[in-house]
């Protein structure tokens, strides 16, 4: 997905709002590394009742990552006042017109309407939550990243190779595809939706069937905000494509010497 930063800025200016009740402190390092890919985290706030012991793990990392804790007492048992505080702050920040996008960190579907409202104002919304996150919230975001792949212990061990009838082959530069990742909650990678990817390529390809890889990734995200190559055992979309040579062709265009190199992909013709 292409970042649409303010004309006067090179990077998107982002507001990061974390629901401490529905996010684990184990993701904090991976979370901000991921956010850095999209822009600059100008505001970093985390919401919860800090008098409760269940947020102790978050307290240990707040200073290290310069995250501002926002105290919100529970007015009534069983009611989550934290959600309301986060939503009110998000709307206040929205109307400052200072930000290009928001990062909403929660697995709670209560933020679905907030995400939709922010997008109505033309801002980019990045969602971060566990795989249990309800689909309406996922779909309301421009991009949704499952936090299982961001945990601090996510890359300590390698997963088994992804089951497939295709054998990974070297790229045009004889590079081997990156090894699959392993997450603590998901030891085996999900099945790659090759038919879905092939359909997207078919919808946007040129006369010869080729699609620029970045454009392919952008269109996939529009249709499935939670699509992430790491969920299928690959670090990047290009590695996923390389890992299925019976279904896809990858072509390098341009010159690496001039920095104008680009990757193109197309569906492999039957029988080829």
pLDDT digits (tens, 9 = 90+) for 63-107: 999 999 999 876 655 446 788 899 999 999 999 999 999 999 999
Q: What residues in the chain have per-residue pLDDT under 70?
A: 1-9, 74-80, 152-189, 255-259, 270-272
In the chain the domains, ranked by start, together with CATH numbers, are 12-149 (3.40.50.1010), 156-272 (3.30.420.610)
Cβ contact 216:201 at 8 Å: yes
Give residues with Cβ within 8 angstroms of 79, minimum separation 6: none
- Contact call for residues 255 and 262 (beta carbons, < 8 A): no
pLDDT at 265: 95
Torsion of CA 133, 138, 141, 142, to 10 degrees: 130
Nearest in space to 233 (alpha carbons), one of 268, 197, 186: 186
Beta-carbon contacts of 231 under 8 Å, excluding residues fewer than 6 positions away, are 146, 149, 189, 190
Give the model confidence (pLDDT) of 10-45 as tens digits.
789 999 999 999 999 999 999 999 999 999 999 999
Beta bridge partners of 16: 44, 103
Helices 81-94 and 112-120 meet at what angle, rounded to 10?
Answer: 0
């Amino acid at each position: 997905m292409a970042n649409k930063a303010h004309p006067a800025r090179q990077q998107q200016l982002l507001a990061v709002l974390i629901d401490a009740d529905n996010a684990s402190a184990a993701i904090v390092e991976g979370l901000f590394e991921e956010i850095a890919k999209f822009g600059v985290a100008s505001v970093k706030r985390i919401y919860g009742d800090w008098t409760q012991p269940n947020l102790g793990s978050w307290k240990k990392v707040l200073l290290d990552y310069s995250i501002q804790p926002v105290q919100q007492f529970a007015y009534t048992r069983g009611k989550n006042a934290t959600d309301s505080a986060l939503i009110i702050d998000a709307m206040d920040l929205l109307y400052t017109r200072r930000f290009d996008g928001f990062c909403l960190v929660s697995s709670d579907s209560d933020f679905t309407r907030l995400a939709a409202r922010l997008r109505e104002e033309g801002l980019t919304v990045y969602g971060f939550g566990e795989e249990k996150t309800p689909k309406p919230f996922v779909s309301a975001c421009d991009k949704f990243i499952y936090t299982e792949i961001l945990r601090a212990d996510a890359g300590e061990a390698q997963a088994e190779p992804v089951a497939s009838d295709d054998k990974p082959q070297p790229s045009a530069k004889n590079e081997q595809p990156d090894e699959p990742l392993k997450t603590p909650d998901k030891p085996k990678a999900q099945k790659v939706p090759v038919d879905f990817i092939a359909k997207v390529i078919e919808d946007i390809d040129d006369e010869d069937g080729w699609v620029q890889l970045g454009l392919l990734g952008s269109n996939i995200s529009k249709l499935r905000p939670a699509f992430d190559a790491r969920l299928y055992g690959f670090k990047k979309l290009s590695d996923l494509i390389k890992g299925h040579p019976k279904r896809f062709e990858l072509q390098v265009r341009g010159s690496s010497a001039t920095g104008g190199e680009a990757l193109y992909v197309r569906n492999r013709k039957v029988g080829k």
